[in-house]
Amino acid sequence: MTETTFTAFTTLSGKAPAEALGEALEDIDPTPYGVGVFEVEDGSGTWEVGSYFLERPDAVALALLAAAHGAADFVVSELPDTDWVAHVRRELHPVEAGRFFVHGGHDTEALPEDRIGLLIEAAMAFGTGHHGTTHGCLLAFEHLLQAGFGPGKVADIGCGTAVLAMAAAKICSADEAGTVYASDMDPTAVDVARVNADVNGLGDRIECLEAAGFDHPTLAEVGPFDLVFANILMGPLLELAPDMATNVSSGGYALLSGILNEQAADVIKAYETVGFTLEHHHKTPEWSTLSLKRS
């Protein structure tokens, strides 16, 4: 299926103003079919707000919104007619990370017999092992497993598609109920995580929660955890450090990513301050993944 898509993007400073602009965008006419709010990963505090439309958006309405929220002028673009799912399917090649094999349904037959498959369909592809940060977390997890670490209780904070939670659920005993906990502050991400868990036959092993960080009664009741994944961004990771110390058990691990290489030293320092020791630092040309052990 192909159809013309219009995009409208702008930037502004600060999370709260960006989120307010994102909410306001949802009420204009024509209504966008998708709105996203993202922090620009350069440490500047700049946020990007983008929206997608099936008809050309109202330039005057966008200009008024930008002015009201202190944002730059929206840049509107028309995307060519494209079957996006088919496009992603062509580009979404399988990714291997240790024993894990992240793939789409179109590559199920390519799953090697000695690998653990993590199925992410093309329409649910955001946040898969194809991004360096998620790939790094899977490799860090593999490093722990090869060292003989077998976590009991596992949480995936800021889970996105829940690919990390699924990796844990496939091989870990988890808690007494056999549950891995996957949380995200974005309700859409929580819905996607549930779908992916079900598709991978893990619906009874992964409990998906809407929460900012550890702020959920279930996480408070179940914790502390032996292993916590947090593939988010440097800013939220720094804010999360005290809660991470409370919610990771002694001898447990926090696997952190979403960190640019030049940001890693600041994150390491913050976590050492609250009782973690750096055990392993995996780098790609751009991204860092930190394996930190709780004392």
Q: pLDDT tens digit string along 207-236?
A: 999 999 999 999 999 989 999 999 988 889
pLDDT of 269 reads 97
State pLDDT tens for residues 126-167.
Answer: 444 445 688 889 999 999 999 988 878 999 999 888 889 999
Strand, coil or helix: 215:
coil
Nearest to 218 by CA among 165, 153, 134: 153
According to DSSP, residue 26 is labeled T
Nearest to 255 by CA among 228, 218, 225: 228
The position carrying tokens 């996480």 is: 219
222 and 153 in contact (C-beta within 8 Å)? Answer: yes
Mean pLDDT of the chain: 83
The alpha-helical segments, DSSP class H, found in the chain are: 15-25, 59-68, 84-91, 132-146, 163-171, 187-199, 217-222, 234-247, 264-273
Distance CA 194, CA 209 (A): 9
Distance CA 189, CA 157 (A): 12
High-pLDDT (> 70) share of the chain, %: 83
State pLDDT tens for residues 231-277.
Answer: 988 889 999 999 999 999 999 999 999 888 999 999 999 999 999 99
184 and 211 in contact (C-beta within 8 Å)? Answer: yes
